[in-house]
Amino acid sequence: MPANSKYLTRSKWQRFAKISAGFVGGFLVSASLHIAIAAWFDRTNVIITASFTFFLTWSGLMVLSFLARNGWKLWALYIGVSLLFIAIVLLKNSLM
């Protein structure tokens, strides 16, 4: 049974924004999250844990990207969260 057409995205740009935000933006958020955690905690334990949790967070963010109404706002959110995690890493490095 096909999907109901009223729930599908008609704009090709929105479809591109959601797919690219899911793959690239989700990867950026997952990577920056794990780098921020590694900056504050023991790096060895974080790397071992990240081998499992990185894929889980990335796939979760990919699924969430298809639930969003606007792909460009989602891109802004993912970039903002990534910058927040990067700022946490820079704050840690400046305190040391």
In this model, does residue 73 exceed pLDDT 80?
yes
Supply the DSSP string of 52-64, one letter for each residue. HHHHHHHHHHHHH
Examine the pLDDT at 1 and tell me if it is beyond 70.
Answer: no
pLDDT over 70 at 68, yes or no: yes
Query: 3-state DSSP helix/strand/coil percent for the chain, to nearest 5?
Result: 85, 0, 15
pLDDT tens digits along 20-64: 999 999 999 999 999 999 998 988 888 898 989 999 999 999 999
For residue 55, count CB atoms less than 10 angstroms from its CB and return exposed for 0-12, middle for 13-18, buried for 19 or more: exposed
Give the model's pLDDT for residue 78. 96
Indicate if the pLDDT at residue 90 is higher than 90.
Answer: yes
pTM: predicted TM-score of the whole model, two decimal places: 0.85
DSSP-derived letter for residue 21 is I
